[in-house]
Structure 1
Amino acid sequence: MEWILKTIQSSSELAIFLTLALGFAIGQIKIKGFSLGSVTGVLLMGVLIGQLDISISPTVKSAFFLLFLFAVGYSVGPQFVHGLKKEGLPQIAFAALVCVSCLLVGWVAAIIAGFDMGNAAGLLAGANTISAVIGVASDTINQLNIDSSHKQQLINQIPVAYAVTYIFGTAGTAWFLSSIGPKLLGKDIIEETKKYEESLGGAIQDDDSSLEYAYDGATFRVIKASSSFFNQKRTVQEVEDLLVDKGWPVYVEKIRTTSSNEIISDPTPNTTINKGDKMVLNGPLDTILSDENLVGKEVIDLELLDFKVENLKVMVANKEIIGKCLHTLKYNKNRHGIVILKIHRGKTTIPLLKNVTIQRGDVIEIEGRKADVDKFATYLGYPERPTNVTDILYIGLGIFLGGILGSLSIRIGNIPLSLSASGGVLIMGIIFGWLRSLRPTFGYIPAPSIWLMNNLGLNMFIAVVGINAGPDFISGLKTAGVSLFIAGIFVSIVPMLIGILLGRYVFKFNPAITLGACAGARTTTAALGALEDTLQSKVPALSYTTTYAVGNTLLIIWGVVIVLLMS
């Protein structure tokens, strides 16, 4: 054991990876459905391992933190910029006001409690579950014209306050929004949510065909044309028109003729179908089964079903459909044979209701025969075919330019005003993410790479923070632990109460939209999940995406502002 300890002390890089491993293990432990999460787990393990008096260069944490911030900006860029358009301005304004209240409430609480700027920054970070504030505030403190030992003392207080306030910041916010929030809105919120779904093309009845997500995947069945409908020759178009009148589109994909046993792989709308011919129909299973008696009976023909089906994600870039309702794609000629499975908007999957509008940068997941998928993908925008290739040039250039932007500053007295390198990289990430939504042919970063940049970047940073703060962590916890916890409850709940009141009386949002926007402005994904369960609907996700983009940006920048206010 002594040899292991000496090895860790002499090779500090090993301490980082041990911290990551133990932190993720602790973070995954669930007690009654609640877990600390990886970030808090890594921080606590870093503090524990930091008791071994291990010192790690701050350059390590800075490099990984910038990688994390660029990934954050890149992910929210399209939603952030889209929100600046007319239809998104109310949600942008709402999120901005909630974020300002998060800052002001945190500042006031810190002043009342007599916290220094380190504890104030940690309070803001933990109570609002925005881990990136730790890095941004640390960068800003380093720029202040104060003694270096005092700087380090303040920086070491940030993770202490974060750890104490984070647990209620996560669990408490989810509880408040999902349990108390609906009561404060004073309505039968589930009924109101269902009515809002109806206005978007949904319905209270689960079997209503206006719900786009009745499509649960491409289903191909071989049906023999044996009904009375085929007592005369019919065209593919006539068959599809017959079936679409009864519900969702059903497409004729292939035909085997009775007369010559020929297989027609790519029938046109004018291809004729005779009685006794076999057809491959593509559509929702329940629709095909309900329509079966209109055309004939299902039969077995394995050769006729021998073709490839592809699942593909496509980034929306076609100006023709941007801003249009999802319903406009239902009968679009380019969609022939295609099932729409999901629409991803940022980190959220939005409900597939027919009046939901399509935005630039949305990623639509489609499924169907490869030829049909290729055609529809080209129409929608840019297909994101599975690849492990990341545009490192794009990432490196974005982080470099962001760092240069953040280094620009002006001084007012002894206080430098600047975004800092971290704030500059976040802003540049937003710009680069938005640029890629305009020109998807460059700057591709696969989802697994984004996940790695987010999780490894942030947790490597947090691991180093915890290890370096370890020796001072316990004393800091003893000094201000109880007061920090109480202040954290106040800073977590009050902005959410303000947000609910703003949504109800000022912006007059639907209750579900108000609650989703509160969760988004606070970037609390756990709260969104709790809301969707409580309301039995995905409607809150519609207001989560834009407000999440705004919240993720402003709350991180508040790491600079809280230090300047406290200084």
Structure 2
Amino acid sequence: MVDWLVNILQTYPELAVFLAIGIGFLVGPIKVMGFSLGSVTGTLLAAVVIGQAQISIDSAVKSTFFILFIFAVGYGVGPQFIRGLKVDGAREVLFALSVLALCLIVPVVSAKIAGLELGYAAGLYAGSQTISAAIGVATDQINQLGLSAEQANTYSNQIPVAYAVTYIYGTIGSAIILAKIGPRLIGVDLMAACKEYEAKLSGGEDVETGGGIVSAYRAIEARAFEIPEGSELLGQPVKDLLPGVRVYAERLSRGGKIVEVDADTVLQAGDVVMFSGRRGDLVGALEPSLKEADAPELLSIPSEKLDVLITSKDVHGKTLDELSKMPQARGVYVSKLTRNMIDLPLLPGTVLHRGDILTILGSKRHVEAAIAEIGYADRPVDTTDLAFVGWGIFIGGVIGTLAITMGGFPISLSTTGGALLAGLLLGWLRTVHPTFGRIPAPSLWLMNTLGLNVFIAVIGISAGPGFVAGLQQAGVALLLWGIVATSLPMIFSVYVGHYVFKFHPAILFGACAGARTTTAALGMIQEAAQSRIPALGYGMPYAIGNTLLTIFGMVVVLILS
């Protein structure tokens, strides 16, 4: 049976790749004491085991999928990254750069002291900083050093060995330092700090019951009420009826005719009016003085729930509370806010950025009016602009092949670096001119996930035969120096963020996790804080970190070669 399977995998190596991915995604998410290997590491280890069968896979396969992955990474963080290069967000950028400098320096120094060979050093960097993309960039740069094919292959095969040894602590250690040890280092109660910050952003409103724009979406209802003689709602525009309460008159029945209401409509006695709003607001503001009417024809109103890509300069930098007071926000409710695929807390003081995805709902006419002011409707579709993807990767890759020689070594972005740059620019342009370059969120996730994991599977299968020997040769030293390379930058980031950059503790640890692009650590921080508030500090450092940590894979090779 074993011989038959080995023969199948050797004859059809593409099946070995998908077997590794299948096993990796099966065992990777399994948690032991609250931690898991993750799908990428699970795929790598499965591929290493499968690789013992001496399976040969064309290197073009891994390059193709990696360049797809790296373009998707750039596309996803492009809006935040470009924004970070401007004045806006300068403090977050400087903080991220200070942390990232140590994320480069400590692994390089550790590798020097330990006397690690070039491949092990690059793998130590990639694993300790949990940046899988650096494997591909470092491999590309090793292949450009002018080494013999045998030497280049030896170094390339060392990378996944060191990555596998150091990645597990890189993930677990970062999470423990930031979520458990970090708050004690600066003497703060993380849960209390988040509650304080939440109260600040809520503008004094009861966060639990949810006032304003924050949580109206939780129980949106439409109900009809009859307006009697002498009602205090008569004689004034509907926009002034209930100041401070997000309850809206949507349409009314008058004289047997249904009339669409706008902000300046004045109610008359005998009108039957459809109001929308959070159930608690409807009950508290209208039920005590009005009689509910049975008006199914009035309540039958087209409604819509859509994701909206924020592209407007006027909306960028506004808080949710400020957005809710714009005329176009009338009758529109927010249900979700996403930045870099991370859900942010919905609080009045939460600031919106171009490139964010805002999920809104309400009557169709109100939603369409809001979209015209906010940005571009990201309506569910099944298609990706593959012409955009293809040309973007091709042009970026060609630019990446251009090289200059320094110190006898050719230096270039490489095709993967060029694709990353193209993704950054095109992802940003998408927020400026959203009429082209559409990559739906599920497609972007697939490009990210499948691209990276096929690459990792091919790396593991190719390195499999020498993996055990490499682990025996450098395992203990790699593990110990990996702990150093992971821990020092994270401890440093906590102190610098608190004492130098003066971040509020509620967002400090999210910013630290963002700079190191460790989403697992952010999850543990939010769990410890029992709040989503730390995610507010994650976005900008993540965009900078995801880009530079990848490029640093090339820098490590150049320094140590």
- Whether TM exceeds 0.5 here: the answer is yes
Deviation at 1:83, TM superposition (A): 1.5
1:256-287 deviation digits (Å, cap 9, x = unpaired): 33xx33333x1234444344433221111211
| Superposition CA RMSD, Å | 2.0
- Are the structure 2 counterparts of residues 55 and 524 from structure 1 closer, same or farther at C-alpha, using a change threshold of 3 Å? same
> Which residues of 2 match residues 336-375 of structure 1 at below 5 A?
336-375=330-369
Alignment correspondent of 2:241: 242
Question: In the alignment, is the contact (CA less than 8 A) between 2:212 and 2:246 conserved in 1?
Answer: no
Report the Cα distance in structure 2 between the residues aligned to 1:389 and 1:558, rounded to whole angstroms.
34
Q: 1:215 to 1:145 in 2, by over 3 A?
A: same
CA distance in 1, matches of 2:308, 2:398: 33
Q: How far did residue 322 of structure 1 move?
A: 2.2
Q: What does 1:225-374 align with in structure 2 at a 5 Å threshold?
A: 225=226, 230=231, 233-234=234-235, 237-238=237-238, 240-243=239-242, 245=243, 247-257=244-254, 260-264=255-259, 266-374=260-368
Question: Following the alignment from structure 2 to structure 1, what is the Cα–Cα distance between the partners of residues 190 and 10?
Answer: 57
Residue 386 (structure 1) aligns with: 380
Q: Which residue of 2 aligns with 1:58?
A: 59
Distance, in Å, in 1 between the alignment partners of 2:232 and 2:489 is: 69
Distance in 1 (alpha carbons) for counterparts of 2:253 and 2:133: 61
Residue in structure 2 matched with residue 450 of structure 1 by the alignment? 444
2:84 partner letter: G
For residues 176-227 of structure 1, give each alpha carbon's deviation from its aligned partner in whole angstroms, at most 9, with x where no partner exists.
1010111112234433333333443444843475564222246233232356
Structure 1 partner of 2:28: 27
Is 1:563 aligned to residue 557 of structure 2? yes
> Which consecutive unaligned segments of at least 5 residues does structure 1 have?
none
Corresponding residue number in structure 2 for 1:469: 463
Q: How far apart in 2 are the matches of 1:289 and 1:467?
A: 63
Q: Quote the offset at 1:546 in angstroms.
A: 0.4
Q: State the Cα distance separating 1:56 from its structure 2 match.
A: 0.4
Instruction: State the Cα distance separating 1:490 from its structure 2 match.
Output: 1.1
Instruction: Please tell me whether the aligned partners of residues 202 and 210 of structure 1 are also in contact (alpha carbons under 8 angstroms).
Output: no
Residue 506 of structure 1 pairs with residue 500 of structure 2: yes
User: 2-side partners of 1:203 and 1:274: how far apart?
Assistant: 35
Report deviation, 1:126. Answer: 1.0
452-461 or 28-37, which moves further after superposition?
Answer: 28-37
* 1:472 Cα deviation after fit: 0.4
Please give the alpha-carbon distance, in whole angstroms, between the structure 2 residues aligned to 1:502 and 1:405: 37
**Does the CA-based 8 Å contact 1:513-1:540 persist in structure 2?**
yes
> For the Cα contact (< 8 Å) 1:227–1:294, is it kept in 2?
no
Aligned to 2:110: 109
Distance verdict in 2 for CA 1:291–1:504, change over 3 Å: same
One-letter code aligned to 2:225: K
State the identity %: 46
CA positional deviation for 1:27: 1.2
Q: Does 1:139 align with 2:140?
A: yes
Say if 1:128 and 1:204 are closer, same or farther in 2 by CA, change over 3 A: farther
Indicate conservation of the 8 Å contact 2:332/2:362, yes or no: yes
Secondary structure, aligned partner of 2:274: strand
Offset of residue 96 of structure 1: 1.0
Residue type matched to 1:242 in 2? Answer: L
SS at match of 1:358: coil
Deviations 1:63-122 (CA, angstroms, capped at 9, x unpaired): 000000000000000001111222301110111111110111101111122211111111
Offset of residue 299 of structure 1:
4.1
* SS, match of residue 86 in structure 1: coil
Deviations 1:337-391 (A, max 9, x none): 1101222222222223323332222221110111111111111111111111111
The structural deviation recorded for 1:295 is 4.2
Shift of 1:293: 3.3
- Structure 2: distance between partners of 1:59 and 1:323: 44
Give the distance between the partners of 2:102 and 2:176, measured in 1 at CA: 20
Cα-to-partner distance string for 1:390-441 (whole Å, 9 max, x where unaligned): 1111111111122112111122243222222111211111011111111111
Change (3 A) 1:204 1:336: closer
* Partner SS state of residue 221, structure 1: strand
Q: Which residue of 2 aligns with 1:539?
A: 533
Do residues 482 (structure 1) and 476 (structure 2) align? yes
Amino acid aligned to 2:65: F
Residue 400 (structure 1) aligned with residue 401 (structure 2): no
Spell out the pairing of 1:59-78 with structure 2 (5 A cutoff).
59-78=60-79
Q: Is the 8 A contact 1:217 1:339 kept in 2?
A: no
Q: What code does the residue aligned with 1:372 have? A: H
Aligned residues: 560
Query: What is the SS of the residue equivalent to 1:230?
Result: coil
Do the aligned partners of 2:223 and 2:276 also contact (CA within 8 Å) in 1?
no
Instruction: Label 1:263 to 1:125 Cα distance change in 2 as closer, same or farther (>3 A).
Output: same
SS of alignment partner, residue 360 of structure 1: coil
Q: Under a length normalisation based on structure 1, what TM-score does the superposition of the two structures give?
A: 0.94
CA separation of 1:283 and 1:210: change in aligned 2, threshold 3 A: closer
Q: How far is 1:513 from its partner?
A: 2.4
Query: Residue 532 of structure 1 aligns to which amino acid in structure 2?
Result: Q
1:168 match: 169
The secondary structure found in structure 2 opposite 1:364 is: strand
1:97 maps to a residue whose letter is S
| Equivalent-residue separation in structure 2 for 1:159 and 1:409 (angstroms) | 26
Deviation at 1:228, TM superposition (A): 6.7
2:100 counterpart SS class: helix
CA pair 211-141 structure 1, distance change in 2 beyond 3 A: farther
Q: Secondary structure at the match of 2:308?
A: strand
C-alpha distance in 2, partners of 1:495/1:229?
A: 68
- Find the aligned partners of 2:33 and 2:188 in 1 and give their Cα distance: 30
CA contact (8 A) 1:225 1:274 kept: no
Superposition deviation, residue 548 in structure 1:
0.1
SS of the residue corresponding to residue 293 of structure 1 reads: coil
- The equivalent of 1:82 in structure 2 is 83
The question of whether the paired residues in 1 share the 8 Å contact of 2:215 and 2:335 is answered with no
CA distance in 1 between counterparts of 2:98 and 2:385 reads: 36
- What is the identity, as a one-letter code, of the residue corresponding to 2:245? W
- Paired residue for 1:459? 453
Query: In the TM superposition, what is the alpha-carbon distance from 1:537 to its structure 2 partner?
Result: 2.8
The farther-off stretch of 119-128 and 211-220 is: 211-220
Match of 1:520 in 2: 514
Once residues 174 and 558 of structure 2 are traced to their aligned partners in structure 1, the CA distance between those partners, rounded to angstroms, is: 27
- Distance in 1 (CA, whole Å) between partners of 2:525 and 2:204 is 19
Larger mean CA deviation between 133-142 and 410-419 belongs to: 410-419
Structure 1 stretches of at least 4 aligned residues deviating more than 6 Å after TM superposition: none
